[in-house]
Amino acid sequence: MQLAKVIGNVTSTIKIKDIKGVSLLVVQPVNSKFEPLGSPLVAADNFGAGVGEYVFFSKSKEGAMNLPIPTSGVDAGITGIIDYLYVDDKQKSG
């Protein structure tokens, strides 16, 4: 799993039926200091994350495991929304 910040939404009027009703979000991977790490990517979200929230996500087959159909053809999926994160005695709210 990796940390990321949700930076946008994807609107798609046509999707494969396996991800119908699943939100697609643009996430920016971040390191433990919340600095951008690499390029943004699109992740499927079944939890209701919103722009500005920090999440953790998985890539590859594991990214689809939390979707209604775990064999969906997605490259990345959000696996949880972060409420609080403690790193080196510093608190970050999600």
Q: How many domains does the chain have?
A: 1
Position 60 scores a pLDDT of: 85
H/E run at residue 77: strand 76-81
CATH code, 10: 2.40.50.220
Position 86 scores a pLDDT of: 76
Position 94 scores a pLDDT of: 60
Domain range for 33: 2-93
Using DSSP's 3-state secondary structure scheme, residue 17 falls into: helix
Position 51 scores a pLDDT of: 97
In whole angstroms, how large is the CA radius of gyration of the chain?
Answer: 13
- Pair 23, 48: CB distance under 8 Å: yes
Q: What is the mean pLDDT of residues 61-76?
A: 82
Taking the C-alpha atoms of residue 89 and residue 78, their distance in angstroms, rounded to an integer, is 26
**How many alpha carbons lie under 13 Å from residue 21 in its C-beta half-sphere?**
5
pLDDT for 12 beyond 70: yes
pLDDT for 33 beyond 90: no
